[in-house]
């Protein structure tokens, strides 16, 4: 049985199924439950349908990185940095740069 936060988010999504924040929140809840395949599916939908929603890229990149796909994670972080810079979201851009640097450092 899913937790009450997931159930509540799904209820909100019934009214606004394409809401980027609600979908992001659902993916984060699934990550917290270690239901990574469900989270990944939602993140993939977000980067396709809401590519300018920069919050997606950090957690999506980390999920992919933790799955061992470092080249794909690198691409996700780089796309997220570009989007955050375009949106003038300096904090998000800095977090994504840090994640990218950590990924690149771990490869060496």
- pLDDT for 36-59, tens place per residue? 999 999 999 999 999 999 999 999
Buried b (16+ CB within 10 A) or exposed e, 32-71: eeeebebbbebbeebbeebeebbbbbbbbbbbbbeeeeee
Q: What is the pTM of this model?
A: 0.90
pLDDT tens digits for range 64-83? 999 999 999 999 999 999 99
Domain count, the chain: 1
pLDDT tens digits for range 86-107? 999 999 999 999 999 999 997 5
Domain residue limits at 76: 4-107
What is the pLDDT at residue 3?
82
Start-end of H helices in 1-108: 4-15, 20-32, 36-49, 55-66, 70-86, 90-107
With a cut of 70, say whether residue 108 has pLDDT above it: no
Residue 58 belongs to a domain with what CATH number?
1.25.40.10
Q: Mean pLDDT across the stretch 24-41?
A: 97
Measured N-to-C along each axis, helices 36-49 and 20-32 cross at an angle, to the nearest 10 degrees, of 160
With a cut of 90, say whether residue 6 has pLDDT above it: yes
Lookup: tokens for 90: 């300096």
């Amino acid at each position: 049985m899913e937790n009450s936060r997931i159930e509540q988010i799904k209820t909100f999504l019934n009214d606004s199924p394409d809401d980027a924040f609600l979908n992001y929140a659902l993916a984060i809840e699934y990550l917290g439950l270690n239901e990574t395949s469900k989270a990944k599916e939602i993140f993939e939908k977000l980067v396709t349908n809401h590519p300018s929603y920069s919050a997606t890229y950090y957690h999506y990149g980390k999920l992919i990185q933790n799955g061992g796909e470092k080249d794909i994670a690198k691409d996700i972080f780089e796309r997220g940095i570009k989007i955050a810079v375009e949106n003038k979201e300096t904090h998000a851009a800095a977090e994504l740069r840090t994640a990218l640097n950590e990924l690149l450092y771990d490869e060496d």
